[in-house]
Amino acid sequence: MAQQSEVNPFELPERTAIIDSLKMTADSTILDSILAVSDNPFEKITEYNSERNAITPTTPEIRSPEDSEPIPNIWMGGIVLILGVLMAILNTAHGGDLQRTLRSFTNQNILNFNFRSQKGRLSTMYILAYILYAISVGAFLYLLAWYFSVPIMTGSIYSALICMAFVAIVMFARHMLLQIIGWIMPFDKELSVYNYMVAVFNHVLGIALLPFIIVAAFAPDPLKKFALFGGLAVILLIYLYRSVRGFMISGKFLAMHKFHFFLYLCAVEIAPVLILVKVLSLYT
C-alpha cells in the first residue's frame, strides 16, 4: 500500500490521463504518433543538447607552420667549417691580395693594375679563392634545390658535392672558352681583362654568400627562406654589375664586332643557363 501511494514527481498527470483515454478509444497508429512527442522537460533538454552537439561545427585545430625538411646538419656543418677555414687562411696569409681583389671589385683602374701585376700567373690566393667560390656557390645551389624540393636532390652529401663539382666545371669551361675566343677574335687583350674581371667577381660572390649559407642551413624556416632569396638577390646584383663593367671594357668594340659579340653572348652567357634549365626539367 505504501509503494502504491508513492507519487512519481517526474510523471505529468495530464499526460497520463490522455494516454489512458487514448488506449481505450484511439487506434494504435494515433497512439504511437503521440507517444513519439514527449512533453517531459528533461527529455527536451537531452534532445536539445544532442542536437546542439551535432550541429555545432568542430573547431579546427590550430597548428603552427611546420618547417621544411631539415638539412643533414652533420656534413653541412663540415662544409661550413671548411668555408670558414678557407676564409681564415685568405684573410691571414693572403690578406693583402684579398684586399686588392675586393678593391678591384669596385674600381676598374685598380682591376687593370692588378691584372698587369699578375701577368697571367695563378697565385695561391687566386686558387684558394676559387675553391672557396666553388664550395660556397655549390652549397648555396644545393640548399636552394633542397628547399624547393627538386627531385634529383637527396639528403646525401653526394648531392652537395655534385653541385660543387658542377660549379667548378662550368667556371673552368667558361675561362677556357674565353681564352680560346681571345685567340680567335681580334681583341685578345680586352677578353683577357674581362676574364680576370670574371674571376674577381666570382671571388667576391663566394665570400658574399657565406652568411646566407649559414642562415639557410641552420636557421628555422622563415629565416631560411629570407636567406635563400637574399642570396639570389646578391647573385643577381653582382651579375648585373659585372655585365655593366663588361660593357665598359668592350664598349668601343661593339660597333665594329657585333656578330662576334652576339656569338659570345650565345656561347658563354646564354647557352650554359639553357643547358642547366634543360637538365633540371628532365628530372621534374
More confident residue, 94 or 268: 94
Identify whether the C-beta of residue 147 lies closer than 8 Å to the C-beta of residue 228. yes
Q: Does 146 or 277 have the greater pLDDT score?
A: 146
Task: Name the one residue in this structure whose C-alpha cell is 686588392.
Answer: 100
| pLDDT confidence of residue 253 | 67
- Whether the CB-CB separation of 174 and 198 falls below 8 Å is answered with yes
Tell me the mean pLDDT in the region 88-112: 91
8: confidence class by pLDDT, cuts 50, 70, 90: low
**Cα(195)–Cα(197) distance, rounded to whole angstroms?**
5
Q: Report the half-sphere exposure of 273 (CA within 13 A, side-chain side).
A: 5
Question: Which ranges in the chain belong to alpha helices (H)?
Answer: 2-5, 13-25, 28-35, 41-55, 73-93, 95-106, 108-118, 124-147, 157-184, 188-208, 210-218, 221-254, 258-264, 271-282
Using CA atoms, how far residue 133 sits from 68, 82, 119, in Å, is 27, 12, 22
Contact in structure between 160 and 142 (CB atoms under 8 Å): yes
Query: Is residue 89 scored above 90 in pLDDT?
Result: yes
Please tell me which residue, 137 or 156, carries the higher pLDDT value.
Answer: 137
Inter-residue contact 147 to 216 (CB < 8 Å): yes
Q: What is the pLDDT of residue 123?
A: 85
Can you give the pTM of this predicted structure?
0.70
Say whether pLDDT at 128 is over 90. Answer: yes
Q: Report how far residue 152's alpha carbon sits from residue 139's, in angstroms, rounded to the nearest whole number.
A: 15
- Give the end-to-end CA distance of the chain in Å, rounded to a whole number: 89
